[in-house]
Amino acid sequence: MKKSSVPNRSYRVADQIQRDLTELIARELKDPRVGMVTVNSVEVTPDYAHAKVYFSLLVGDPEQTEQALNQAAGFLRNGLFKRLHIHTVPSLHFHFDRTTERAADMSALIAKAVSSRAKEE
């Protein structure tokens, strides 16, 4: 196997995990602590043993949701076993992704700076 094909496979596996997890969380996870979750990205270790899953929320408590998703990781991993056709399905580790939150804060700061400059002129 060529070395250049290994990272591509890793990205494809991570992408497929992201798509399948999105569907599994929305359709099969019945935990009331998990609201409208968006799976932003998945990083898979080279040996496929672990996957960091970064998510954001439209509504809900990030810490409670992260705790609920990590408690449901075994259930979700089992769901991935049925969908993915790979030898090893990684252990899932969920992390709240504050990127969209930070982006919204930055946009608000920029808008505030622009409006204060407009008032000065």
pLDDT of amino acid 33: 92
Per-residue pLDDT of the chain (121 residues; tens, 9 = 90+): 444 455 688 889 999 999 999 999 999 999 999 988 999 999 999 999 999 999 999 888 999 999 999 999 999 999 999 998 788 899 999 999 988 777 777 888 898 888 888 887 7
Sequence-separated contacts (24+) of 41-46 with Cβ below 8 Å: 41/14, 41/97, 42/14, 42/15, 42/17, 42/18, 43/14, 44/10, 44/13, 44/14, 44/17, 44/90, 45/90, 46/6, 46/10
For the chain, domain boundaries: 5-120
The structure's pTM equals: 0.78
pLDDT given at position 6: 57
- What local confidence, expressed as pLDDT, does residue 2 receive? 46
Class in CATH terms, 5-120:
alpha beta
